[in-house]
Each structure stands twice: as structure tokens, then as C-alpha cells.
Structure 1
Amino acid sequence: MNTPAATDSAASAAALPLFYKQPSPLIADRDAELTMAGTGDYRFASITNSLPLVASELPLACKFYPILFSEGAAPQMVALLGLRSGENLFVDAAGRWSEGSYIPAYVRRYPFIFLENDERTEYTLCIDLAAPGVGTGIGNRLFENGEPTEFTRAALDFCREYQAHFRFTAEFTAALHEANLLVDNRADVTLADGERLSLSGFQVIDEARFNALPDETFLQWRQRGWLHLVYCHFISIGNWGALVDRSVPKAV
């Protein structure tokens, strides 16, 4: 399973967040003519089989995607989009997201992003200058009369809200790791056409270990609003079959 290479921290040329190629801080004087046109084209998201999720998305995301956790001491919660590396089964050749399926906030935020400075003392709203639709032509202006437009302020609010949910989610996944609830998993799948696929490098919550949590911990998790996130994860595992079905090319 390929997972995003970096979280929303100070980005370097060697480790940019997934999708972002040329993130640049938005500066009114310099970017006075910058515009962004909404293309409705999600082909930029077709290059990965997993995307980060924040906790607030789980009640919707669990209806469409298996929700898994990356390995390591700082596990990341992700939606699984395909069974092969670099494959997103929810984006077609024309760049359309599968109709009726939930589109993760990480995708809807693009090409905007908050990035930290080197001291991690403040965030700056940035935009990927390499993103489709970003330029100095048609589309929504980002600044007018030296001030952010309503479009830019909406992007700022979205990124600010996303960052808050990101921190909350990191606390939740850290608690899962500390409670030793995450276990390595592997999926071996045989498609209807006989092709065999194997997916590894991800973790799931061990239901038996979760049910054995001390009552005090269980109560603390309820107070933190974490319990329903665990149950959303368990519900999401039922989406494996639908994902397998999507992996088989449809007859034309």
C-alpha cells in the first residue's frame, strides 16, 4: 500500500505532501494576478491507492472505503482506493470521481495547503503553482486590491478547519498505537478473472484487544469522542468486497 510521503509540516523538495509539486506561499503583492479555475478534473488523485483521512470524515468515508492505518510509531489513517500501487479505482480516465462516492477532504483541499515554517511556530496558506487551473488567466482571482478574495478566504477557512481535524486525528491514532490496538494485516485477493493480488504494509484495529480495554480507558475514549471512530473503522472493512469488484475491468 503506498501512503502519502509527508504530512502537513514544513515541506522540503525531497518530501512534499502527496500531489503537491510546487507549493508556494500566497503573497498579495506578488500574486495579485493569480487565478484558479475549477476544472472538476481529479486525475491528479489517480496516482495513489490510498489517501489520508481526518476523524470528522469517518462517518461518511466508512460507507465507501476500507479505512486502514499505516505502519510505524505515528500511524496515519487512510482510505484505501485501490488494490494495486498507484491505482485509484474511484477516478476514471476523464478525471471524474465515481458518482455518489464520498470525496476525501484531502482531495477537496487541493491545490491549497497549510505548511509550517521551519520552527513550527506558524502556518502559511500555500497553493500548488503546478496544479491544473492555477495561473493568471480565467478563473477565481485570489486577491483584489491587495486583499484576499472571498474565494481565498474560503480556502483559508477550509485549510484551518482541516488542520484542526488533523491534530485531533493524530491524537486518536497515537492513542491506538500506545494502547497496542493496531496489528499488521495482509489481504490476498483473487479476482473474478483469476488475477491474484496481495496487499500488505497496513494495520487494522484488533477487535478483541479493543473490547478488552479497561473500563476507565473506554470511558476516557468516549469522552474524547474516539469510540465512534473505532466503530466506523470496523464498519469500513465491509467495503473490501466492493473494492475487489471495482478491480475487475468492466466489459465494454
Structure 2
Amino acid sequence: MSDASQPGALPLFYRDPQPLSAETHGAWRLRDGDAAFAADTAFAPLVVAEIAAAARDYPVVFSAGESAQPVAVLGLEQRNLFVENGRWADDAYVPAYVRRYPFGFVATVNPDGFILAVDAASDRLMQTGDEGAPLFDGDQPSALTQDAMAFCRAFQGEAEATRAFGEALRAQGLLIDRRADAVLADGRKLGLDGFQVIDTERFANLDEAVVVEWHRRGWLALANFHLASLERFNALLTRQGKAGSAEPAPKPTKSKKA
């Protein structure tokens, strides 16, 4: 579970992100699709506004990179246990990062600027024909594209708040490395590493001034949602068991000293 923000790396799911333009994509259409594109990933990025909802269904941890990106753990191997036959489980929250696909924002030359893009490699996009909803009405964005723009703009705003939370966690030295292990009934071993969690002892001993500030900013609640979500590793194992029994329950263990 590495940091996806490395220079030159494409964002998760995206293979050919292109800035949308009427000149290039004027005839393109988007047809209905499923979540098959997310079937082979064991994690999905989260923003702070959805940590509470995601924590009810997934372990929420942090990437080990500089960004301290919160992520939902979706499986114990290179597989999403919440997607079956292209359908996301009805009883589980779908992260906003997944819901916005194949749209997204890409940075412009202006370091503070972003433009709406689409993954041209998505099999939902039709370059010709009448199937699906149009991306443009003439030279203007269609209602579909305008909705995508609004969704991605809101997501980008939350991304800024998410970075601030991650920076605060690092500034207080709260994040420590962890890994989760399980042994399948057939003897296969599964291991998930490269993620971090909040150290409960350090969290309990935050300075009073920091506690007050974090309470006002909502960060105390986010930290507690994260810590409570770690119990979801057991539920994750139950899902794994339906696809192939595993025992015992994976326990997040310290992989090295912070």
C-alpha cells in the first residue's frame, strides 16, 4: 500500500487521463457501467468527509508515504472483496474516489489550478455512436459533465482538508507502521503492509492545547473513527472466508519502530 502521489505515477484506476475539451471529446458519450474497474484493488483513497461513513464498513488506515493519505482497506490481497460480478456490495459504503470515476481533476500549469479530465481508457466511454449520455452539447459541457465537475470540485476541496489532517498527524508524531496477517485454510499466507495507524498511547497523551484545537477542527472525531475501524479487519476476514476460509483473524501488528 504505497503512496500514490509519486512523481509520474498515474492515479489509481486511471490509465489514460485526458483533460476534457469539446474539440477532442465533443462526440464522446458515457454509457452506464459497473464497478469492475475496482475489482482488483485492495484499497481506495478517502477524504476526511467520508471517514466516518467508511469506518463502518472498512478498516481505515493511512498510507506510509509523505501524504499520510487515509485509505479504506478493501481486501487482504490484490482483490476487492466488496466487488462481485462487477457489483459493489449493497451493504457497503462506496468511496467517493470510486464514484467519481472515470472523471477526475488533473493539475494545470497553474499550481493551484485543476481541470476536469476523463479516463479515455475506460470501457464506459464511447467515441462514436449514440449509446450513452453525451459529454458535450455542442461546444458546451452537458448536464452529465456539469454534474461531474461539481462532484470533482467538491472532492478536490475535501482533498485539501484531508492533506491538512495528514500533516497534523505527522506533526504530532502519531503515525506508526503496522501490518495485518492471516493464514488461509489451504495454508496460504496473506499479508498487508505499507500502512500506518495512530499510536493510541501517543494520541492519549496529546497536549491539552492540541486536543482543544483538534476538537474544534473535528480531527479528534476523525482519529477515533479511524481507531474504531481497525476492528473491521475481523469483518474483512469474514468476507475473505466466503471466498476461501482463513484463520485466525488478522491482527494489525507493529512492523517497525516509528
From 109, 115, 129, the equivalent of 2:106 is 115
CA distance in 2, matches of 1:121, 1:209: 34
Contact in 2 for aligned 1:4/1:52 (Cα 8 Å): no
Say which SS state the counterpart of residue 29 (structure 1) adopts. Answer: helix
Q: TM-score, normalised by structure 2?
A: 0.88
The answer to whether the 8 A contact 1:193-1:248 is kept is no
TM superposition shift of 1:175:
0.5
Equivalent residue number for residue 181 of structure 2: 188
SS of residue paired to 1:188:
strand
Distance 1:250 1:47, change over 3 A: closer
| Secondary structure of the structure 1 residue equivalent to 2:12 | coil
Shift of 1:82: 0.6
Q: 1:167 to 1:126 in 2, by over 3 A?
A: same
Distance 2:235 2:98 in 1: 21
Whole-angstrom CA distance in 2 between matches of 1:227 and 1:180 = 15
CA distance in 2, matches of 1:30, 1:73: 36
**Equivalent in 125, 128, 141 of residue 134 of structure 1:** 125
Structure 2 CA distance for aligned equivalents of residues 157 and 90 of structure 1: 27
After TM superposition, give the deviation of residue 74 of structure 1 in Å. Answer: 2.2
Secondary structure of the residue aligned to 1:30 is helix
Question: 1:196: how far off?
Answer: 2.9
The residue identity in structure 2 corresponding to 1:25 is: P
% identical equivalent positions: 41
Does the aligned pair in 2 maintain the 1:81–1:87 contact within 8 Å? Answer: yes
Matched, 1:63 2:62: no
1:248 partner SS: helix
Structure 1 pair 97/233, CA: closer, same or farther in 2 (3 Å)? Answer: same
Match of 1:143 among 133, 136, 139: 136
Query: Which of the numbers 57, 79, 103 marks the counterpart of 2:94?
Result: 103
Query: d(CA) in 2 for partners of 1:198 and 1:37?
Result: 37
Residue 171 (structure 1) shift: 0.4
Gaps of 5+ in 2: 245-258
TM-superposition CA deviations, 1:202-247 (whole Å, max 9, x none): 1100111111001100111111121111111012111111101111
Cα deviation code 1:7-62 (max 9, x no counterpart): 8xxxx8x41111111111111233221110121x2111112111100001111100
Encode CA deviations 1:137-183: one digit per residue, 9 max, x unaligned: 31111111321111111000000000000110010011001100001
Residues 61 and 186 of structure 1: is their aligned pair in 2 closer, same or farther, counting only changes over 3 Å? same
Distance in 2 (CA, whole Å) between partners of 1:19 and 1:37 is 18
Question: 2-side partners of 1:250 and 1:16: how far apart?
Answer: 30
Residues of 2 paired with 1:172 and 1:223: CA distance?
13
Q: Does 1:31 align with 2:25?
A: yes
Match runs of 1:1-252 below 5 Å:
2-3=1-2, 5-6=4-5, 14-39=8-33, 41-84=34-77, 86-92=78-84, 94-135=85-126, 136-137=128-129, 138-192=131-185, 194-250=187-243
Unmatched 5+ residue regions in structure 1?
none
Contact 1:68 1:204 in 2 (8 A): yes
Give the count of matched residue pairs. 242
